[in-house]
Amino acid sequence: MTDSAKINPPPKHIAIIMDGNNRWAKSRGLPSLAGHKAGVDSVREVITGCVEQGVEALTLFAFSSENWKRPAVEVKGLMELFMFALDREVKKLHKNNIRLRVIGDKARFSASLQKKIAAAEALTESCTGLQLNIAANYGGRWDIVNAAKVIAERCVSGELTPDQIDEELFGSYVHLAELPAPDLCIRTAGEQRISNFLIWQFAYTEFYYANCFWPDFGKARLIEAIDDFTGRERRFGRTSEQLEADKGA
């Protein structure tokens, strides 16, 4: 896309629903875990691409609260892969000034995995480059309900009154509140739904659907998605004419 065709700057925050690992593996006659392992390589490529494109935050949907319903052997393999990836990648993230955070209900993970997550987050806490968020045992509804519980507790204790609750206050209690809201959400494998991911945060997010499985999504496809995003007009409830008037002001 030429510069003249670009309406938006590149997204500050990209969220990705990494879909299609199982189908990628099945199409090759491989076990499902092979697809998840291949997907780790795509994660690495996309992180590199985001750094090169000046993206400030990247949030990856790695494991939803509904994924516990998958076959036990697959869940066990995913947990082991998560442990392996933390061991292998966290020092590289730190070296490249990338901060890692895991969002979601971590209490259900094994004690050893929780320990590794905490150590990885602590190691990269002072990193000021790309903010990498891994959503694991995360659900958008859980996030909203959790925020509501905390606010309710503050009301009961007298710290807040119901009249003080508005969108801004509520939004400060959901995950990623300290980051820009996601500008762009990418979903692979041709699926077109959000699957209980960042429901509150996606109010004005642009969506891009890639017709390839996640292991086939790399840096080049990321750039295609960003290029598509920069050509869209984002009105946030206003008209095109109002946006043009703002530019001329």
Q: Which of 142, 30, 43 is nearest to 92 (CA)?
A: 43
Domain count, the chain: 1
- 173 within some domain: no
Give me Rg for the CA atoms of the chain: 19
Is 211 assigned a catalytic role?
no
Is 96 assigned a catalytic role?
no
- 101 within some domain: yes
pTM over 0.85: yes
- 155 within some domain: no
- Reduce the DSSP state of residue 208 to 3 states and report it: strand
Residue 175, class by beta-carbon neighbours within 10 Å (0-12 exposed, 13-18 middle, 19+ buried)?
buried
CATH code for position 24: 3.40.1180.10
Give me the catalytic one of 3, 8, 19, 96.
19
Q: What pLDDT is attached to residue 16?
A: 98
Distance CA 59, CA 62 (A): 9
Render each residue's pLDDT in the chain as its tens digit; 249 residues.
555 467 788 899 999 999 999 999 999 999 999 999 999 999 999 999 999 999 999 999 999 999 999 899 889 989 999 999 999 999 999 999 999 999 999 999 999 999 999 999 999 999 999 999 999 999 999 999 999 999 999 999 999 999 999 999 999 999 999 999 999 999 999 999 999 999 999 999 999 999 999 999 999 999 999 999 999 987 656 555 555 555 555
- 159 within some domain: no
Distance CA 2, CA 88 (A): 39
- 59 within some domain: yes
Rounded-to-5 percentages of helix, strand, coil across the chain: 50, 15, 35
Q: What pLDDT is attached to residue 245?
A: 56
Give me the catalytic one of 3, 8, 41, 67.
67
- 171 within some domain: no
- 114 within some domain: yes
Q: What pLDDT is attached to residue 238?
A: 56
- 144 within some domain: no
Domain that holds residue 49: 9-139+180-232
